[in-house]
Structure 1
Amino acid sequence: MSGADWCVLVFTLLGIICYGIYRSRGSRNIDGYLLGDKSLPWYHVCFSVMATQASAITFLSAPGLAYTSGMGFAQFYFGLPLAMIVLSITFVPMFHRLRVFTAYEFLEKRFDLKTRAITAILFLIQRGVSTGITIYAPAVILSSILHLDIQYTTVAIGVLVICYTMYGGTKAVSHTQLLQMSIIFIGLLLAGVTVVYLLPKDVGLIKAIHIAGKSGKAKAIDFSFDWNNQYTVWSGLIGGLFLQLSYFGTDQSQVGRYLTGSSIRDSRLGLLMNGLLKVPMQFFILLIGLLVFVYYQYHAPPLFFNGQALEELERGPYREELLSLHSEHEALFAEKEKVVSELSVALDRNDEEAINVARERLHEFGDKNGEIQEQLHQLMKVGNARADTNDNNYIFLHFVTQKMPKGLVGLLIAIVFLASMGATASGLNALASTSVVDIYKRLVSRKVNDRLDLSLSRWMTLGWGLFCIGVALFAQRLGNLLEAVNILGSLFYGTILGIFMVAFYLKKVGGSATFVAAIISELIVVICWKYEIMTFLWLNLLGCLSVMCLATILQALQAKKIQ
């Protein structure tokens, strides 16, 4: 990066951190540290919720996902607006009325301590691992920019966020997230405009989308009903609805965000506005990835977007084989570039026959490129058995650092860091609050001591931060980070949501039946995932319905025994 980029990056990050610390001063008890004294207006709630969900993974992996797989991932969010309506009607007033610190306190009042504890433990496992992955994402950037080992940058990022979260708590997180999302929106708009500007003069936005469509990348809607198709309208509306209901309704990292609202109205407005803004925002991020794909139809892409991995291979004994693959790759692109130009002309003339011929040839080039990539991956594995052959997370990063104008590079990198800080800080805050309120204060000591509780919350933040750093050090083996986080969530969210649905709507079902049903349902979900019986979005529906059905049956059997 240039000196101007470094200045923009450092100034933006330091400004945000100092502002958050300044606004969070005065948190002297657990209520202020974990809930921000429940004093934030609806727009704070909205941007805080969005920033928690839109981690660095979103801005690194989503464009890469659109580049490689197309726009289909947009369907993942189709259930989000519906989920926000359901939560605003049911969960929000309940949590506010009960004046809880965490979502899981309600479960003990409705059921018993063991049901509350198992739900909290499921959340801690899922959120702890997910937060570790969000730490890894900005470490990828810092590693690429500074050419340092990713393990060092992972630890550095983790320590920075731990210190920031330990000091400020929820107030620091929420206040900075408002600024973060404002900067993110501005940066994304500039990035989109810049990508279009960098395309050839005769290729505008509409034509770029047409070219991507003929290459099989622009299909955003799929009405087929296929259990093995990850992204369809139905998996998004149904599976996505249950995933979003669980994420926003039972995940303390999100519940903690809207519990900071000054009233039920503010919390509801914040969630509903999130439902309205999130889908267009995600679509726009994917669209940027699509435009980057079109850019690389006219400009030669690298053989492998993770430059460090390529440099490591080049320094090894397989340099000649790598050079041979480079030559094949360049020759293939030269041929493909001519076909892309022919496609562009055919689109201008609206010549369907020529368009179809060009499209078929582009698909052939895609297959040939896949063969070259497979040879490269095998070469990397021979050179280093632990080599990461998935460069999906590096596609947008490479484009930003190599092609964007000075100054804007620093701003876009700052955006990814800000998103990571917001999501990671929210995750650590949620892990600390759940550990203190749901585990320590119920299973270890119930004494009321504000100073001790505040101190313990900070130590729990440190402990979970170190755990998340440990997870982050292994995250490079997970492939596309965005998909990895959502798959991980889907293993737990359905079961957790099922417990809450029983609590809200099945009034005759007790704690023991729900507890056993939750354990059995979680085993069913894990087995279905392990043996690939269905794609991950449907696991949320499976887990929820399993808990509700099994709990009802077990309660009926229990009542029959008593009779």
Structure 2
Amino acid sequence: METLDIVVIVAYLIATAWLGLKLSGRQAGLRDYFLGGRNLPWWAVSLSVVATETSALTVIGIPVMSYMADISYLQLGIGYIVGRIVVAFLMLPRYYDGEMVTAYAYLGKRFGSSTQTTAGITFLVTRLFADGVRVLAAAIPLKIILEGIGISVEYFTIIVVLAVVTIIYTFIGGIRAVVWVDVAQMTLYVLGGLLTIIVISVATGGEWLGAAADAGKLNFFVFEGNPISASGSFLPSLIGGAVFAMASHGSDQIVVQRLLSCRTKVEAQKAIIWSGVLVFVQFAIFLMVGLALWSYYNQATPDDLGLTRDDEIFPMFIVEGLPAGVSGLLLAGILAAAMSTLSSSLSALSSSTVTDVYARLKKSPVTDKQGLRVGRWATIGWGLAFIAPATVFQSDDGNIVILALGIAGITYGGLLGAFIFGIFNKRARPLDANIAFGIAVAVNAFFFVMEKYVTGEVWVAWQWYPLLGVLVTFAVGGTLSLRHSGPMVEDTLVKNDKEAVEP
């Protein structure tokens, strides 16, 4: 790397931190810290949702998919749009009608505090592991940067530094800072992807697309293979992708927290639907980047290029193939985008800790001052906790995007199932929902562990995890609910739950 690149990276990171803190405003209480005062424009929230769910994972992970195979991953984008539409009109109205702070507050309203706390704790644990992968994703480009200037450092050291820096950023700024920085980061790394395509097109005479077509790498729809275990085929991508989006954007606090920061329900609906369209376009851009890189490197494998991970292909090109200054800016954007995504996770984790766990276990109502203090301490704790799973997943040689989505999918089905189950099954009681939720999570965890650590074979594609969890929740919960003679009525437990924190 050139000296100019290093200067650009340092200057950009400083400017990003300044922007986030400048726009964060004063955090007077829980409503400001976790929801930005519910006064953020829908378009900014939409961009932030896209940046949060993809960021570094998309930038460095998706190009590898088309580099090693084809563009069939784009099928998933269609399912994502369908799933978001369902969330916009089925689940979002329930969040806004109740003026809730977290996604799991609805479960508390429907089933009581035990179900809300169970869902909240499950979210915390799952998000910890999934975001461990995000920390690793952020460490990959930084390792490339350091090696480019002759500094050899282990992933563990980078992971620790990233965790500490992200804690400081989130501790001070809250969700408003996170959203606005996300907007800047997404704009930069998408432009970087387009610039990469232009640079390679000039270098190869624009022949990379024709070469990819001749090699069959422009396959969009795939109808071959077992639809249950073949993750790249159309049915699991469409149906599984739709249900996955319903779960991730309707029951995952990291996304719901953003949607609740919009001014109105209608604006939140626009934000989530448009985010699906933007994700599809973003997928297409970075899949094209992968095809361009495949041609640029003459179809060489990652091993041929001397890389330790497949995900290092695009960061390597940024360092070697882009003009001085431009490569520094794009690497800074990827790194800062990854950190802003991590700060989003910390914000969601701390808000869920306060609202779904602390407020439910505390006997007296939680004041704004108490909640803000606990939320900030939770930010520190969860940030440090990221280090362990990030270090563990460093040894996983699979695609980093698939790994993160697979981990998240373990609980998405149970969470989404509990939401929909609570809406449509009026007979169900808290114990029915809790048992059904637990079994749904256990079933998905079984298939994930068997694939990753036991047999090495795919029995159920990761796209099916959310739908499988929903079906198990309905089957088990529905069966248990038959014990009851009629619809559940609002009892003392549920009434008491209304005393929980509401900013």
TM-score by length of 2: 0.90
Does the 8 Å CA contact 1:54/1:419 hold for their aligned counterparts?
no
Matching of residue 238 in structure 1 with residue 164 in structure 2: no
Q: Deviations over 1:434-480 (max 9, x none)?
A: 01110011113433322221111110000000001222122212222
**Aligned residue runs from structure 1 range 211-222, under 5 A:** 211-222=211-222
Aligned to 1:174: 179
**Aligned residue runs from structure 1 range 193-342, under 5 A:** 193-199=198-204, 201=205, 204=206, 207-224=207-224, 226-297=227-298, 303-305=303-305, 307=307
Matching of residue 107 in structure 1 with residue 107 in structure 2: yes
**Aligned residue runs from structure 1 range 37-52, under 5 A:** 37-52=37-52
Q: Supply the RMSD in Å over aligned alpha carbons.
A: 1.9
Task: Summarize the Cα distance change of 1:392–1:123 in structure 2 as closer, same or farther, 3 Å threshold.
Answer: same
Q: Deviations over 1:3-59 (max 9, x none)?
A: 121222222221111011011121121110011000001111111111111221211
CA-CA distance at 1:65 after TM superposition: 2.0
Task: Summarize the Cα distance change of 1:237–1:113 in structure 2 as closer, same or farther, 3 Å threshold.
Answer: same
Residue of 374, 378, 381 corresponding to 1:463: 381
Matching of residue 537 in structure 1 with residue 426 in structure 2: no
**Aligned residue runs from structure 1 range 139-538, under 5 A:** 139-146=139-146, 147-199=152-204, 201=205, 204=206, 207-224=207-224, 226-297=227-298, 303-305=303-305, 307=307, 391-479=309-397, 480-531=399-450, 532-538=458-464
Distance 1:412 1:19 in 2: 18
Distance 1:72 1:518 in 2: 32
Task: Summarize the Cα distance change of 1:475–1:302 in structure 2 as closer, same or farther, 3 Å threshold.
Answer: closer
Distance 1:556 1:216 in 2: 53
Could you say which structure has the larger radius of gyration?
1
Return 532-541 or 236-245, whichever deviates more.
Answer: 532-541
Distance 1:180 1:520 in 2: 39
Distance 2:363 2:166 in 1: 29
CA-CA distance at 1:149 after TM superposition: 1.8
- Structure 1 counterpart of 2:18, one-letter code: C
CA-CA distance at 1:559 after TM superposition: 4.0
Distance 1:559 1:122 in 2: 30
Equivalent position SS for 1:557: coil
Q: Deviations over 1:233-276 (max 9, x none)?
A: 21111111111100000000000011100111211111111111
Equivalent position SS for 1:221: coil
Aligned to 1:387: none
- Structure 2 counterpart of 1:208, one-letter code: W
Distance 2:355 2:302 in 1: 50
Higher helix share goes to which structure?
1
Aligned to 1:57: 57
Distance 2:285 2:244 in 1: 22
Return 544-553 or 447-456, whichever deviates more.
Answer: 447-456
- Structure 2 counterpart of 1:284, one-letter code: I
- Structure 1 counterpart of 2:195, one-letter code: L
Task: Summarize the Cα distance change of 1:276–1:494 in structure 2 as closer, same or farther, 3 Å threshold.
Answer: same
Does the 8 Å CA contact 1:305/1:394 hold for their aligned counterparts?
no
Residue of 469, 474, 483 corresponding to 1:548: 474
CA-CA distance at 1:184 after TM superposition: 2.4
Distance 2:348 2:409 in 1: 18
CA-CA distance at 1:305 after TM superposition: 4.1
CA-CA distance at 1:60 after TM superposition: 1.0
Q: Deviations over 1:159-192 (max 9, x none)?
A: 1111000111101101211222222232222122
Distance 1:421 1:150 in 2: 15
Distance 2:40 2:153 in 1: 40
Distance 2:94 2:473 in 1: 21
Does the 8 Å CA contact 1:83/1:245 hold for their aligned counterparts?
yes
Distance 1:530 1:448 in 2: 39
CA-CA distance at 1:208 after TM superposition: 2.3
Distance 1:182 1:403 in 2: 21
Does the 8 Å CA contact 1:258/1:267 hold for their aligned counterparts?
yes
CA-CA distance at 1:283 after TM superposition: 1.2
Distance 1:303 1:483 in 2: 20
Task: Summarize the Cα distance change of 1:163–1:212 in structure 2 as closer, same or farther, 3 Å threshold.
Answer: same
Aligned to 2:94: 94
Distance 1:302 1:188 in 2: 20
Distance 1:439 1:553 in 2: 28
Task: Summarize the Cα distance change of 1:449–1:428 in structure 2 as closer, same or farther, 3 Å threshold.
Answer: same
Gaps of 5+ in 2: 147-151, 451-457, 487-503
- Structure 2 counterpart of 1:486, one-letter code: L
Aligned to 1:26: 26
Distance 1:526 1:152 in 2: 30
CA-CA distance at 1:216 after TM superposition: 3.8
Aligned to 2:499: none
TM-score by length of 1: 0.81
- Structure 2 counterpart of 1:516, one-letter code: I
Give percent identity, aligned residues only. 28
Distance 2:388 2:281 in 1: 34
Task: Summarize the Cα distance change of 1:213–1:512 in structure 2 as closer, same or farther, 3 Å threshold.
Answer: same
Does the 8 Å CA contact 1:529/1:539 hold for their aligned counterparts?
no
CA-CA distance at 1:292 after TM superposition: 0.4
Task: Summarize the Cα distance change of 1:304–1:152 in structure 2 as closer, same or farther, 3 Å threshold.
Answer: farther
Task: Summarize the Cα distance change of 1:30–1:474 in structure 2 as closer, same or farther, 3 Å threshold.
Answer: same
Distance 2:364 2:78 in 1: 43
Does the 8 Å CA contact 2:414/2:437 hold for their aligned counterparts?
yes
